[in-house]
Amino acid sequence: MSLQNNIKIQHLLENWPTGQVATSVWLNKMGISRQLTRRYQQSGWLEAVGVGAYKRLKESIEWPGGVQQLSLEVHVGGPTAFSIKGTSHYVRLGKENIFLFSPLNERLPKWFTDFDWDNPIHHVRTSLLPKALGIGTYRHHNVQLKISAPERAILECLHLSPKEFDLLECYQLLEGQLTLRPDLMQQLLVACSSVRVKRLFLYMADKANLPVVQYLDKEKINLGTGDRSIVAKGVYNAQYQISIPKELADYV
């Protein structure tokens, strides 16, 4: 290997964050061509994760190191946004599901979906909320991730419920959110495309007596018309015209 290529691999390894996947696009930005990538692979410096994605030889990688390299409108949301910040209600005994949210038209690359991550990955493609509203960044496992703020994350949890996330756990998460920002919560509720999610949020926020409720302008939030059945044979709430699980209605 030439001196120039030795310098390039040294520079690459020094600037390659620990536990992070490197895509061909990222490697190209680092001045590493596809031909040179193959040479480094043959020399034992790196190994393929999938087509167009690599990791350092024998280095273990976790899902944040893969998500960070997705050049897509994808963010960590819903229950995962709470759990990685340590604010989830339950400690999972098994492998925790990871929820990634994106607009409807996004597709995760094959190298990401085919890789055997330690945690099950659930890609939720939805038009529930505008793609940038209530999304910030958070450093997790030495990786900078796009992540939902609590105001957005709780609506995403409700979007998953009750099929993919328990409604009672949603409520238990929500009742601990005493610092939800009224301005952002109002914007999200106005922009939210799901009548069911909005009604559930307002029902739960009222039930939990959250401080944010008194600042919301409900007249500007479109709650639609007619009943919504959240679960079969549920308890009917007349104010929000929803049928909810009895264990949620009775929960104190």
Residue 139's pLDDT band (cuts 50, 70, 90): very high
The reply to whether 40 and 107 lie within a common domain is no
CA distance 205 to 53: 44
Taking 80 as the threshold, does the pLDDT of residue 150 lie above it? yes
- Among 43, 61, 79, the domain boundary falls at 61
The reply to whether 129 and 85 lie within a common domain is yes
pLDDT of residue 116: 93
The reply to whether 20 and 117 lie within a common domain is no
CA distance 224 to 176: 28
The reply to whether 42 and 116 lie within a common domain is no
The reply to whether 142 and 24 lie within a common domain is no
Q: What is the average pLDDT across 74-84?
A: 96
The reply to whether 168 and 134 lie within a common domain is yes
The reply to whether 76 and 53 lie within a common domain is no
The percentage of residues in the chain with a pLDDT greater than 90, rounded to a whole number, is: 75
Residue 7's pLDDT band (cuts 50, 70, 90): confident
Q: Which of 220, 178, 226, 229 has the alpha carbon at shortest distance from 200?
A: 229
- Among 61, 88, 106, the domain boundary falls at 61
For residue 36, count CB atoms less than 10 angstroms from its CB and return exposed for 0-12, middle for 13-18, buried for 19 or more. middle
pLDDT of residue 10: 84
pLDDT in tens, 191-246: 999 999 999 999 999 999 999 999 999 999 999 999 999 998 899 999 999 999 99
The percentage of residues in the chain with a pLDDT greater than 70, rounded to a whole number, is: 94
Q: Two tokens at 73?
A: 């409108």
CA distance 200 to 203: 5
Work out how many domains the chain is built from and give that number. Answer: 2
The reply to whether 244 and 185 lie within a common domain is yes
**Residue ranges making up the domain that contains 19:** 3-61
The reply to whether 111 and 39 lie within a common domain is no
232-237 own/partner pairs: CB under 8 Å, 24+ apart: 237/203
Taking 90 as the threshold, does the pLDDT of residue 17 lie above it? no
The reply to whether 88 and 183 lie within a common domain is yes
The reply to whether 41 and 85 lie within a common domain is no
Task: Output the average pLDDT for the chain.
Answer: 92
Give the Cα-Cα-Cα angle 135, 140, 92 (nearest 5 degrees): 95
Taking 80 as the threshold, does the pLDDT of residue 93 lie above it? no
The reply to whether 244 and 148 lie within a common domain is yes
CATH number at residue 40: 1.10.10
CA distance 107 to 122: 12
